[in-house]
Structure 1
Amino acid sequence: MTGNPVHTAHWPAPFASGPVDATVTVPGSKSVTNRGLVLAALSSEPGWLRRPLRSRDTLLMAEGLRALGVGIEETVSSTTSGPGSAPGSGEAWRVIPSGLQGPATVDVGNAGTVMRFLPPLATLADGPVRFDGDPRSYERPLHGVIDALRALGARIDDDNRGALPLTVFGGGALDGGPVEIDASSSSQFVSALLLSAARFNQGVEVRHIGDSLPSLPHIRMTVDMLRTVGAQVDTPEAGGEPNVWRVKPSALLGRDLVVEPDLSNAQPFLAAALVTGGRVTIPDWPERTTQPGDALRHIFTEMGGSCELTDAGLTFTGSGRVLGIDVDLGEVGELTPGIAAVAALAESESVLRGVAHLRLHETDRLAALTKEINALGGNVTETSDGLRIRPRPLHGGVFHTYDDHRLATAAAVIGLAVDGVEVENVGTTAKTLPGFTDLWTAMLGEPAGRVPARRA
């Protein structure tokens, strides 16, 4: 957790007077959208992203690519889907690659994908590219990408901080080749190098030499998307060496990509079914996916619900009971805030393990969750690699978000069962889930912009 919370207008989290029963169309995946934008920008021909997520993180990625000379044309369908539908579901972005240009300046905001995925691409630009962002972005680890790019032949000026702000002096090409990195603080270090590697003269061989690697599903997502655009990738899962990924130099193909719903952003809505004993359907849930959010089917079932995947989507049903869980979330750490919120409302103790790296996310998520849930009367303690949550009755109060979208949605989940929760800066959800409050109130059967009445 960094600095003091930003005190902006408080949003009264709606209290659920009964079980929810709703269909919620979730916007597209941030992870897929931003990877798709990078790959399309590096391709040899134009491509399309259909139903992309349009949020702060993805708009920062698009603007960063535009600053480098990439054409991105947006089209918007006039069709709307009514209450409970996702904004942006009728959009398509056409990406037109071009020679990457410098000098340029890229604003990364506080988007991990932008600050890590674009510096490797900037090495291919014809001129210097400066990267800057929000104050918190200066504190997030970037050394893995910086050190690796230098080892591969790039020239980077970061005043030896291993963090933003920095300048990449693009030379129009990069040698590439083998490189060793410690990606134990973020799997995005590996994905960042792999995404641009096909354009390096020798491709790349990335060898992770640190402790356990978090968020492996995101690396699998990167590999799958690379293969979709024609890249040749060797991975540990395909019989290669453990912790080694290789991408051969090649041209990438322009594709027509339909972006999956963001399954991690579906989490608060599934949690609503669990904590209210209700039912929520998420349309277009994929049968096969590399998104970490797919793990919710198993995790939330173990916590007391049940789910069914049909042609209509994923329907999750709460049983009226919420059970504690002991779970290693190392591969799906971004789900921790929402799981912690549910665990705070459970009948029994929960232990969330394998997520020490969350201390380096948008905020120190472990410290923030502990402080804010305990401020509502909870009993949460930090462990070396996670949280121990012993449920006890909660009361209303202000839940600070520290400019972290997943803290805001976690607070909304608690507010369903605890009257009087006020969410500070709920607007931070626009980072990855624009229109969250309207989707939330529509799920509860309320008109947009209103919340259910408080209990007398």
Structure 2
Amino acid sequence: MPDFAPTQPDQTHPEHLWPSPTATGPVDATVRLPGSKSMTNRALILAALSERPATVRRPLRSRDTDLMAAALRALGIVITESDGDWWVTPRELRGPALVDVGNAGTVMRFVPPVAALASGDVTFDGDPRARERPVGELFAALRTLGAAIDDDGRGAIPAVVRGTGSIPGGPAAVDASASSQFISALMLSAPRFSRGVEIHHQGPPVPSQPHLEMTAAMLRAAGVDVDDATPDIWRVAPGPIDAGDITVEPDLSNAAPFLAAALVTGGRVTIADWPQTTTQPGDALRELFTQMGGSVERDASGLTLRGGQEVRGIEVDLRAVGELTPTIAAVAALATTPSRITGVAHLRRHETDRIAALANEINALGGDVRELDDGLVIEPRALRGGVFHSYDDHRMATAGAVIGLRVPDVRVENIATTGKTLPDFPGLWGGVVS
């Protein structure tokens, strides 16, 4: 069970409550999603460390990606925008600098290794919740690799990376059971370390494996030698990075609530431009929602999900795709049979304690949800309207919207938090439900 409570919501005034639209029948819509946050922020890091100018095409523009761009600019990188693309010109990394991570895990974890390559001190701070999120294992590994970091022993931000212009690199052990981002962070900057890195994971299984596959694939596409053939060991050779021209795929994790809309209303939603092959965790939605009663087709126009006659519960380990948990839980709360979600203990340290928050909010609407140490058990029960708190967590907010499709008078607190990764979610959602 959690050793701390989820961040408590404090915005309950009417102006902060979004009336979630209720579907009057099966939805029928085609949705064009903005780019993947995970790919955009990895692309920005690789472009910033590249040997020559690079272009990030069709990037996501959201709070998290704008924070990443601002962090790299603070270190001296030139990033300009043209026709919706980002043009990145590498420069000598320098401090002193202040990096605001907001509550973005990718900024909090991917940028410190870059800062260690800068000349001068780089201070990291962010939202109150960010100060509670784990980063100590990354800091410890960076110290092993030759970086100097002052965090007063907290293993959290605020912290100062005292950049010296270079990092020796080499072998380092890390327990990445709390976040695969610890490993991705080291891998992305490793080609610029004198000896590269050899990362050994020591601890319970690493969550979000598809994100590690994404990191390795994007490094290889930039000409970097990556060896991830041995379980729990990642080797990245030193050498130049040639990011070149990176086109960002649509964010498939953000497709979750829209596909869920088709599932829970017995309707149809097509996500345009769904890639034929991808390392994104959101690709697992095809199988997950099929198990829950939907049917999936993919053609040149994208991926289409059609809802069936009922929504079925699911028993599933979501360790590899934990970010999908809020939407899966929302759908499960509307199912006709029980669900059991496991393998997601790491979600207790995300934007909020997502396990506790989901149980709190679904139960507040009359649900029957029981917390496990690493997940949730959800029993079928008729739900009622009420306030669904977001806890300043974008995926909690979209989960509330999914429930609101079937349950009248659900009001989602602080729907604006969806801007973290999905600008204008209310507008896109309205286009689906109308």
Q: Same fold (TM over 0.5)?
A: yes
User: Once the two structures are superposed, what CA deviation does each residue of 1:343-383 show, in whole Å capped at 9, x if it has no partner?
Assistant: 00000000001001100000000000000000000000001
Q: What secondary structure, in the 3-state scheme, does the structure 1 residue paired with 2:253 have?
A: coil
* Correspondence for 2:278: 289
Distance 2:330 2:33 in 1: 20
* Correspondence for 1:4: 8
Distance 1:357 1:386 in 2: 10
Query: Does the 8 Å CA contact 2:6/2:354 hold for their aligned counterparts?
Result: no
Distance 1:154 1:267 in 2: 39
Distance 1:130 1:2 in 2: 26
Distance 2:352 2:8 in 1: 11
Q: Pick the aligned partner of 2:138 from 136, 141, 145.
A: 145
Q: Pick the aligned partner of 1:280 from 236, 254, 269.
A: 269
Closer, same or farther in 2 for the Cα pair 1:130/1:440, shift >3 Å?
same
Distance 1:106 1:6 in 2: 26
Does residue 403 (structure 1) correspond to residue 384 (structure 2)? The answer is: no
User: Once the two structures are superposed, what CA deviation does each residue of 1:138-178 show, in whole Å capped at 9, x if it has no partner?
Assistant: 10000111000001111100000000000001000000000
Query: Does the 8 Å CA contact 1:34/1:58 hold for their aligned counterparts?
Result: yes
Query: Does the 8 Å CA contact 1:110/1:133 hold for their aligned counterparts?
Result: yes
* Correspondence for 1:208: 201
Q: Pick the aligned partner of 1:412 from 377, 401, 406.
A: 401
Query: Does the 8 Å CA contact 1:274/1:320 hold for their aligned counterparts?
Result: no
* Correspondence for 2:86: 93
Query: Does the 8 Å CA contact 1:123/1:154 hold for their aligned counterparts?
Result: yes
* Correspondence for 2:66: 59
Q: Pick the aligned partner of 1:70 from 51, 58, 77.
A: 77
Q: Pick the aligned partner of 2:361 from 365, 372, 378.
A: 372
> Per-residue deviation at 1:255?
1.3
Q: Pick the aligned partner of 1:171 from 160, 164, 167.
A: 164
Does residue 156 (structure 1) correspond to residue 176 (structure 2)? The answer is: no
Query: Does the 8 Å CA contact 2:62/2:419 hold for their aligned counterparts?
Result: yes
Distance 2:146 2:88 in 1: 28
* Correspondence for 2:352: 363
User: Once the two structures are superposed, what CA deviation does each residue of 1:216-264 show, in whole Å capped at 9, x if it has no partner?
Assistant: 000000000000100000003xxxx320000000001131111000000
Instruction: Could you tell me which runs of 5 or more consecutive residues in structure 1 were left unpaired when the two chains were aligned.
Output: 77-90, 446-456
Q: What secondary structure, in the 3-state scheme, does the structure 1 residue paired with 2:356 have?
A: helix
* Correspondence for 2:227: 234
* Correspondence for 1:331: 320
Does residue 117 (structure 1) correspond to residue 121 (structure 2)? The answer is: no
Query: Does the 8 Å CA contact 2:173/2:199 hold for their aligned counterparts?
Result: yes
Output the amino acid matched with 1:38. Answer: I
Q: What secondary structure, in the 3-state scheme, does the structure 2 residue paired with 1:398 have?
A: strand
Q: Pick the aligned partner of 1:131 from 124, 129, 140.
A: 124
Query: Does the 8 Å CA contact 1:6/1:403 hold for their aligned counterparts?
Result: no
> Per-residue deviation at 1:320?
2.7
* Correspondence for 1:425: 414
> Per-residue deviation at 1:75?
1.6
TM-score in terms of structure 2 length? 0.98
Query: Does the 8 Å CA contact 2:7/2:129 hold for their aligned counterparts?
Result: no
Runs ≥4 residues deviating over 6 A = none
Distance 1:254 1:35 in 2: 11
Does residue 38 (structure 1) correspond to residue 38 (structure 2)? The answer is: no
Query: Does the 8 Å CA contact 2:268/2:307 hold for their aligned counterparts?
Result: yes
Distance 2:121 2:149 in 1: 9
User: Once the two structures are superposed, what CA deviation does each residue of 1:157-207 show, in whole Å capped at 9, x if it has no partner?
Assistant: 000000000000100000000000100000000000000000000000000
Percent identity of paired positions between Structure 1 and Structure 2: 63
Query: Does the 8 Å CA contact 2:195/2:238 hold for their aligned counterparts?
Result: yes
User: Once the two structures are superposed, what CA deviation does each residue of 1:414-446 show, in whole Å capped at 9, x if it has no partner?
Assistant: 00000000000000000000110000001123x
Query: Does the 8 Å CA contact 1:323/1:348 hold for their aligned counterparts?
Result: yes
Q: What secondary structure, in the 3-state scheme, does the structure 2 residue paired with 1:260 have?
A: coil
Query: Does the 8 Å CA contact 2:50/2:242 hold for their aligned counterparts?
Result: yes
* Correspondence for 2:299: 310
Q: Pick the aligned partner of 1:264 from 217, 229, 253.
A: 253
* Correspondence for 2:211: 218
> Per-residue deviation at 1:2?
3.3
Query: Does the 8 Å CA contact 2:224/2:236 hold for their aligned counterparts?
Result: yes
Output the amino acid matched with 1:149. Answer: L
- In the TM superposition, what are the counterparts of 1:176-187 in structure 2 within 5 Å? 176-187=169-180
Q: What secondary structure, in the 3-state scheme, does the structure 1 residue paired with 2:184 have?
A: helix
Distance 1:50 1:266 in 2: 20
> Per-residue deviation at 1:4?
2.3
> Per-residue deviation at 1:384?
1.7
TM-score in terms of structure 1 length? 0.93
User: Once the two structures are superposed, what CA deviation does each residue of 1:262-286 show, in whole Å capped at 9, x if it has no partner?
Assistant: 0000000000000000000001100
Distance 2:338 2:73 in 1: 49
